[in-house]
Chain A
Amino acid sequence: MTRKQRRLYFVFLGMLALGAAAALVLTAMNDTLVYFYTPSDLRTKHVSPDRRLRIGGLVEPGSVARQGDAVRFVVTDLTATLPVTYRGVLPDLFREGQGVVAEGKMDGEGLFHASEVLAKHDENYMPKEVADALKKSGQWQDEGKKP
């Protein structure tokens, strides 16, 4: 095998791997990309019930209610609200009045079924999407809150 042939083989192998990776990425992206919505977005846009999505905002104070192992709470971006239900143990830093991001699906009646409520490691941390959502709805207050 000459040097040129080897280089061709090298290039061919690389192209093959890249092609395979591109094909995998494109198919996977289609099915697995999860979009982020704010409660205001969901008021105006219709989202199909079998699409996984992320929602985020602040947990409305006084809205957390437990029924057995299920928890219901309301997420707000201070313009619109969205009721959420979740089964399981909430992350340690889940608090009323704090930012929250949840992943799951909408049902037909406007209730969000969360399969995951994302934990944050740091109480000063405001999820970027939530901060942006609050900015978008014009309710962002800078004082005291570190984004």
Chain B
Amino acid sequence: MIAELGQFALIVSLFVALVQAVIPMVGATRGDRAWMDVAQPAALAQFALIATAFGALMTCYVTSDFSVLNVVQNSHTDKPMLYKISGVWGNHEGSMLLWVLILSLYGMAVSIFGGNLPPGLRARALSVQAMISCGFLLFILFTSNPFTRVDPAPLNGDGLNPLLQDPGLAFHPPFLYLGYVGFSMAFSFAIAALIEGRVDAAWARWVRPWTLVAWCALTLGIAMGSWWAYYTLGWGGWWYWDPVENASFMPWLAGTALLHSSIVVEKRDTLKAWTILLAIVTFSLSLLGTFLVRSGVLTSVHSFAADPSRGVFVLGLLVLVVGGSLILFAIRGPGLKGGGLFTPLSREGSLLLNNVLMSTAAGTVLLGTLYPLFADALDLGKVSVGAPFFNAVFIPLMVPMVMTMAIGPLMSWKRGDLAGALGRLKAAFGLTLLVLIGTWLVAGGSAGPLWAAGGLALAAWLFCGALTEWAERVRLFRGPLSETVERMIRLPRSAYGMTVAHAGVAIVIAGITGSAAWTVEKIQVMHVGDVASVAGYDLRLEGVEDGIPGPNYMILRAHFVASKAGHLVTDLYPEKRMYRQPPRPTTDAAIHTNLLGDLYAVVGDADGTGGYVTRLYFNPLVPWIFIGSVTMVIGGLVSLTDRRYRVGAPLRTARAAAAAKGRV
């Protein structure tokens, strides 16, 4: 009964979405306020209906209703409650339902918080939003219905893929989708603006909070996925340049570019067409990501069994969205004339450079990700493009970008003073040099660690640069203290946001460099009582205990005692878990972190003579990757609280009202 209710709610939501797609758009064209105003209640109704469907599916999971095929295939009565709930989106059908749920959540948010938007723009944006909704609701109803029944109902389910039964991965998809789908807002606003033929500072100000929310969620989602891969796959890697990872990284790159170019539109009323194009590209890459993950066209470490016919549907949707929006852009884009002029050496210039490099990077990642498909289609042989390719291409593009990231914010708008900016970075430069030489000497002073020293120096440069910019703006140590404090309070939150986010990037760079340069790996067979040394730590295998019962698995747990120079550091308990249903093992690494590095232990298979294959790592600076990512997210959230999004937003209407008054 509940499943049918969900199914019914989904079908009704499709019709509501159809109404929301057509009526407000027609209304906006004819200037009919009543028709335009259909959009808000429709968006609310759409969310309520899809939430009902989602709630129905969740109820089926929580109560283990095995007459629903989706529950049978992905759940089991043994599963802890958390994974019964996360099982809802731990499969194709459910995750697509989550996709439209989040899409309609954003639509509802616009109709609630969009009171300051001009009615035409809001109506059109919500209409575009509903068109996307229609596409995905059709997709769910026709190719991936989560409410299909089975008769007779089996006594129990097949269980959830054990790798997904993990707290990190339970919340990874919702955040990833909040990011992916969040970029649909920028897209909808871009299409609405193209139809209106008008992009201005006010538009950029309206779109920016949505882009920021999406960006924060995506950053967090990617970081969570990476963290999960780090501790659960047992090879100590946190990024593999795998197609599925790239699928989430490409919208991130484009979205980051969009975040920066929209600043130029807002502050300087220029780069309009480019920003619109970026909004379209970012969402298209999100759709492409969905397609790549869902269709299984690419071989990936993270591949899950997938159905090609569904891929064709998403591909069709992708072609429609990308093709349609690009045609609209080709017709309307040239009409978007930019206002403010600027020289290459200015803040606009540096933001433009950021954009060019970010989009080029996204382009190369796209090429590398799709190349195996092209090669296969053109019969060039089966190839795989892996980490060596991406490192060789991506790093040279990012180095100049990070270098200018410290300088750009110190330049003024229109016409910047490069010499002045560099002058103010003297202290930062000195510190960078210190880090460079210091790291190089500590790491052994040969030619080998030079690039690693360079990586850390780059991180130091960016970190100090971000702080310098902040210090400049509050006139730290250069005026009376009271003035500095006054400036600290008056400084807009978005400026703090930028400083924090850029510092976060610096921390991530340091983490990446550390893990790439100084990871120590040891693989060996160990018997109980054996000691293995890794990076100065001595790990003694104290014992191995088998057959410990977990909630729905049996545990083989090894006990390592780690000590350094005779002093006890910690106990490590890596596990191998054998799940009952489906009967499959997973590895659970034991990690001890001191924030500068992780001691990482994995217990592997028995070798048959009482020994176990063990993998021990020392991963220096890896925690910084995750700390830095979270710092970036915090920066984004701080920026989101900037008062200009609340106070300054209804600028266009105010001006229009003033103009109307003037006419009277």
Contacts and interface: CB of A to CB of B under 8 A. Distances in A.
Interface in A67-110: 68-69, 87-93, 101, 103
A43 interface: no
Given A13-B353, A36-B382, A66 B607 contact: yes
A24 B234 CA distance: 32
Among A17, A36, A103, the most chain B Cβ lie within 10 Å of the Cβ of: A17
Nearest to B344: A9
Interface in B329-346: 338, 341-344
Contacts of A119: 233, 301
Nearest to B614: A89
Nearest to A22: B364
Nearest to B270: A6
B117 to A, nearest CB: 30
A33 B383 contact: yes
Contacts of A42: none
A21 B523 contact: no
Nearest to A118: B301
Contact of B342 (A1, A35, A91, A124): A1
A35 B360 contact: no
Contacts, number: 138
A3 B341 contact: yes
Interface string A110-138: 00000000111111110111001000000
Interface in B371-393: 371, 381-386, 388-389, 392-393
A46 interface: no
Contacts of A120: 301, 303
Contact of A90 (B301, B363, B364, B605): B605
A132 B382 contact: yes
A31 B613 CA distance: 33
Interface residues of A, number: 49
Contacts of B523: 69, 87-89
Interface of B: 161, 163, 233-235, 296, 299, 301-305, 338, 341-344, 352-353, 356-357, 360, 363-364, 367-368, 371, 381-386, 388-389, 392-393, 396-397, 523-525, 582, 584-587, 602, 604-605, 607-608, 613-615
Q: 7 shortest A-B CB distances, which residue pairs?
A: A36-B382, A89-B604, A28-B392, A32-B388, A32-B389, A124-B305, A17-B360
Given A24-B392, A36-B381, 16 more contacts: A10-B352, A24-B364, A29-B371, A31-B392, A33-B383, A33-B389, A34-B385, A66-B613, A68-B525, A69-B523, A89-B605, A89-B615, A91-B233, A93-B584, A125-B305, A129-B382
Interface of A: 1-3, 6, 9-10, 13-14, 17-18, 20-21, 24-25, 27-29, 31-36, 54, 66, 68-69, 87-93, 101, 103, 118-125, 127-129, 132, 146
